[in-house]
Amino acid sequence: MPSVTDRYNPLDAEILRDPYPVLAELRMRAPVFWHTGMDSWTLTRYADSVRVLRDHETFARDPRRTGGKVPEPSLSVQTLDPPQQSRVRSLFMTALRAQDLVGVEDRARLLVRERLDQLAGGGPFDVVAEIAVPLSVAVVADLLGVEPPPYGEFAEVSDAIMRSMDGGLNPALVEPGRVARQQLSDLVDSWFAASARSGLLARVRQAMAADPDALTRLYVKNTARVMFQGGYSTMAAAVGNAVHTLLAHPGALGRMRDGALLATGVDELVRFDGPVQGTTRTAVRSCRIGHVDIAPGQKVVPLFAAANRDPAAFTRADELVLDRIPNRHLGYGWGPHSCIGTTVAQAGLRALVAALNDHPARLAAAGEGVRHRTATMRAFDTLPAALLV
Ligand code: HEM
């Protein structure tokens, strides 16, 4: 039988269905191992992942720090490192804190409620197309203060970008990803040119008016694109995963009628089966993780999905514990690149769960879902369900 490290192919059908058993075996037998397909050191322990995510001086996100190149449209909060990144990040964080997230949550809850009204009693439907995509486009557009683009069209562009995140495993995905990024850039350009409604983008533009630096403007525009596309795609994936988890745990949805459980439960759903499976950093100097020596220039991949089930960090790690406190999971990352949109995502997930609980019809599974064949993002292509009246 091949070793567990040889068996770990994130695109394998069985692993896409349920990655957690093989990740648990890796955590035990090979917590730091070289993955040839990903050309990286892969980490499965919580403590090792946190260390890498925190230490941005040793582990770079910006490929230029290790001699790589970044095309201009990709220079954003996501690809820069502190100190360059910090100014852009704080611009967006400050603008986000000034937004009315209660309003975003209320409008999202109403949107889901209306869609459930349309779907109830009408036979099986696809949770991704009917709920996850519209909810996520609406939440992110509402936050930014822009007109939501047509759902279907936007989902296709976003899909191409999401698939290109696996470009290391499949180079054929890189070019369609580049074209899609350009399309999205054109859309974001049009938002910047037009006078935006009140919202995060208007706030950022206002703050930028006092900063004539062309480079900052470029970073800000690219970051607005990441907020929209990255925010949408992770949110949509999280909604699909959350509904799947709730369907597999009878009683969990109903228990989240309790406000305290709703608040802690949406975080537990992301820990239990979150959308972002891992991330990449590059060592800028020699270092050691566990028993492994890492050379400068080598890539390191902390696997959030493995860290989030590490029994050294979480009691009853393989169980869904809706009232888990504290819950310092890595589903939203950690350190200087942790998710900017965490509070927005939490609001969107609360809106979803609350609307499902508001509705008199009962959500039920209506067959097996089909997973996206992507390693970085854990998502459903389709997830059939029905609303029984
Ligand atoms: C449940 C939904 C979401 C999850 C699970 C999630 C997860 C993550 C994770 C794991 C990272 C860090 C990746 C890394 O270290 O490489 C990240 C970064 C980021 N997220 Fe989210 N995210 C979600 C929703 C959103 C939303 C709604 C927005 C915006 C409206 C957003 C905006 C961002 C941005 C801009 C970054 C880059 C931050 C940086 O590099 O400094 N995310 N997200």
229-274, pLDDT tens digit by residue?
899 999 999 999 999 999 999 999 999 999 999 999 999 999 999 9
> What is the band of 174 on the pLDDT scale with cuts at 50, 70, 90?
confident
Q: What is the mean pLDDT of residues 137-152?
A: 90
Going from the Cα of 80 to the center of ligand 1, the distance in angstroms, rounded, reads 15
Testing ligand 1's pocket by substitution, the residue of 80, 234, 338, 353 carrying the most ligand atoms inside 8 A of its CB is: 234
**Does the pLDDT at position 192 exceed 80?**
no
| CB 83 within 8 Å of CB 351 | no
Give me the residues paired with residue 303 across strands.
278
Q: State which amino acid sits at residue 169.
A: L
Across the range 285-314, mean pLDDT stands at: 98
Rounded CA-CA distance 311/291 in Å is 20
Q: Which CATH superfamily is domain 4-388 in?
A: Cytochrome P450 (1.10.630.10)
Higher pLDDT: 210 or 279? It is: 279
Distance 374 CA to ligand 1 centre (A): 17
| C-alpha 151 to ligand 1 mean position (Å) | 20
- State the distance from the centre of ligand 1 to the C-alpha of 232, rounded, in angstroms: 10
Q: How far is CA 198 from CA 143, 149, 201, 343, in A?
A: 9, 17, 8, 19
Distances (CA, A) of 201 to 85, 180, 369: 18, 21, 35
Does ligand 1 lie within 6 Å of residue 344's CB atom?
yes
The whole-number pLDDT of residue 125 equals: 98
High-pLDDT (> 70) share of the chain, %: 99
Please tell me the least confidently modeled range out of 37-41, 146-150, 369-373: 146-150
Query: Which ligand 1 atom is at minimum distance from the Cα of 143?
Result: 30
| pLDDT number for residue 165 | 76
Q: Where are the chain's structural domains?
A: 4-388
Query: If you average pLDDT over residues 30-53, what whole number do you get?
Result: 97
∠ at Cα 50 (45, 56), nearest 5°?
Answer: 135
**CA distance linking residue 274 with residue 235, whole number of Å:** 10
281 lines ligand 1 (CB under 6 A): no
Instruction: Kindly state if the Cβ of 60 falls inside 6 Å of ligand 1.
Output: no
C-alpha of residue 337 to centroid of ligand 1, in Å: 8
DSSP H or E run through 362: strand 362-365
277 Cβ contact partners less than 8 Å away, ≥ 6 residues apart:
10, 19, 303, 304, 305, 375, 376, 377, 378
82 lines ligand 1 (CB under 6 A): no
